[in-house]
A = this chain, B = another copy of it.
């Protein structure tokens, strides 16, 4: 196990009706002038935004608002938010939405206290040294941004998707009401599940030895997803399954399942160019890429793939040919993604084989390498995209 620091100071406020306590928690965490940041009309139409505003009003807290966050959130709205924060002397950002909204809020939070261009944090030209406090009211279990210190944003003019991170971006509180996720369409729900599982797999595939505790925590999240996801696809209003998935999504990305070990993140890297170019759902892109990445790299550590096949997918261990167990596990994962309604190849995703050179170029790996478990070249990434063209559940 490697040395590590783990610091997750977010107060998680979980359960039915908890969004009505927004005012209490903003006040507890020091907010007096709040920017409510949200996405599309659903938070408005459902009455959620009104309930949140009422809670702030009851607590006597001033609020401004900025809506319009899109999936794969854009830098353009963040510039607008930063401007608004300065004009209105905002001291707390309350994000009402899913991962895109939260990531946009984090961009605003960091940018509002920075003299330069906030994109510097995402292009790695600068590091975040201060940020406005952020609170969350989560509406979709997926990105895990409600418990993490990271943010992913797309630059509108280039459609490049880049990430920034700092413990300073960890939310002060996150209100998690599973009921708010019951109205999500099945496809979005499934995309969220793929994202949650990806956050675990990116950490599970490690070159650090002797990390049983975090392996088991990873498997705990995966086993929960395998049990609960089909239940909410079959019955979107199943509160208990929604609750387990919502908490699993948070645990998957606070960092606790990945401490003390090297991690990978190539599936995310490779997927980001898909959702960057096609504006498809991140989880859908992951469903296409992850099993292909696994097939491409599994010989780097067959026993690790056999372990997850056995412990999570219940595949019988083939002691003579462990690679058979490993392959069986990857197939089970792809079948699972397919069965919950996700695309598993380029055609189903709406991606095109002829774009592969462009996708690889956008990665920006050039003559270098990327990733923590297996270091991949541009040629390797090309091969993984090619596997994704033809992937099937057969």
Does residue A11 face the partner (Cβ distance < 8 Å to B)? yes
A6-B14, A14-B260 in contact; A220/B210 too (CB < 8 A)?
Answer: no
When the two chains form their complex, are residues A4 and B8 in contact, meaning their CB atoms are under 8 A apart?
A: no
Residue of B12, B18, B213, B220 near A213 (CB, 8 A) is B220
When the two chains form their complex, are residues B12 and A251 in contact, meaning their CB atoms are under 8 A apart?
A: no
Does residue A217 face the partner (Cβ distance < 8 Å to B)? yes
When the two chains form their complex, are residues B213 and A224 in contact, meaning their CB atoms are under 8 A apart?
A: yes
Does residue A3 face the partner (Cβ distance < 8 Å to B)? yes
Does residue A15 face the partner (Cβ distance < 8 Å to B)? yes
What is the minimal beta-carbon distance from A142 to any residue of chain B, in angstroms? 16
In A182-232, which residues have CB < 8 Å from any B CB? Answer: 209-214, 216-217, 219-221, 223-224, 227-228
Instruction: List, in ascending order, chain B residues with CB within 8 A of A220's CB.
Output: 213, 216-217, 219-220
In A220-256, which residues have CB < 8 Å from any B CB? Answer: 220-221, 223-224, 227-228, 240-241, 243-244, 247-248, 251, 256
The complex places the Cα of A10 from the Cα of B11 at a distance, in Å, of: 12
The complex places the Cα of A260 from the Cα of B176 at a distance, in Å, of: 12
Does residue A332 face the partner (Cβ distance < 8 Å to B)? no
Count of residues in A whose CB is under 8 Å from the partner chain: 43
When the two chains form their complex, are residues B210 and A243 in contact, meaning their CB atoms are under 8 A apart?
A: yes
When the two chains form their complex, are residues A227 and B212 in contact, meaning their CB atoms are under 8 A apart?
A: yes
When the two chains form their complex, are residues B7 and A12 in contact, meaning their CB atoms are under 8 A apart?
A: yes
Residue of B18, B240, B241, B251 near A217 (CB, 8 A) is B251
When the two chains form their complex, are residues B213 and A248 in contact, meaning their CB atoms are under 8 A apart?
A: yes
Does residue A158 face the partner (Cβ distance < 8 Å to B)? no
The complex places the Cα of A18 from the Cα of B2 at a distance, in Å, of: 12
Instruction: List, in ascending order, chain B residues with CB within 8 A of A13's CB.
Output: 5
Chain A 323-345, CB within 8 Å of chain B: the 1/0 string?
00000000000000000000000
The complex places the Cα of A78 from the Cα of B74 at a distance, in Å, of: 56
Residue of B15, B240, B251, B256 near A209 (CB, 8 A) is B240
The complex places the Cα of A216 from the Cα of B244 at a distance, in Å, of: 11
Does residue A159 face the partner (Cβ distance < 8 Å to B)? no
In A1-57, which residues have CB < 8 Å from any B CB? Answer: 1-16, 18
Instruction: List, in ascending order, chain B residues with CB within 8 A of A251's CB.
Output: 213, 217, 256
The complex places the Cα of A3 from the Cα of B214 at a distance, in Å, of: 26
Instruction: List, in ascending order, chain B residues with CB within 8 A of A260's CB.
Output: 14-15, 243, 247
When the two chains form their complex, are residues B5 and A14 in contact, meaning their CB atoms are under 8 A apart?
A: yes
The complex places the Cα of A244 from the Cα of B208 at a distance, in Å, of: 13
Does residue A297 face the partner (Cβ distance < 8 Å to B)? no
Does residue A259 face the partner (Cβ distance < 8 Å to B)? yes
When the two chains form their complex, are residues A212 and B259 in contact, meaning their CB atoms are under 8 A apart?
A: no
When the two chains form their complex, are residues A223 and B216 in contact, meaning their CB atoms are under 8 A apart?
A: yes
What is the minimal beta-carbon distance from A204 to any residue of chain B, in angstroms? 13
When the two chains form their complex, are residues A211 and B244 in contact, meaning their CB atoms are under 8 A apart?
A: yes
Instruction: List, in ascending order, chain B residues with CB within 8 A of A259's CB.
Output: 14, 247
When the two chains form their complex, are residues B244 and A1 in contact, meaning their CB atoms are under 8 A apart?
A: yes
Instruction: List, in ascending order, chain B residues with CB within 8 A of A217's CB.
Output: 217, 220, 251
Assuming A1-B243, A213-B247, A213-B251, what are 9 further A-B pairs, CB within 8 angstroms?
Answer: A1-B178, A1-B247, A5-B11, A7-B10, A209-B240, A210-B241, A213-B224, A216-B223, A247-B259
Could you show 21 A-B contacts with beta carbons less than 8 Å apart? Answer: A1-B244, A3-B14, A3-B16, A3-B18, A4-B14, A4-B15, A5-B12, A5-B14, A6-B11, A210-B243, A210-B244, A212-B223, A212-B244, A213-B220, A213-B248, A216-B219, A217-B217, A217-B251, A219-B220, A247-B259, A256-B256
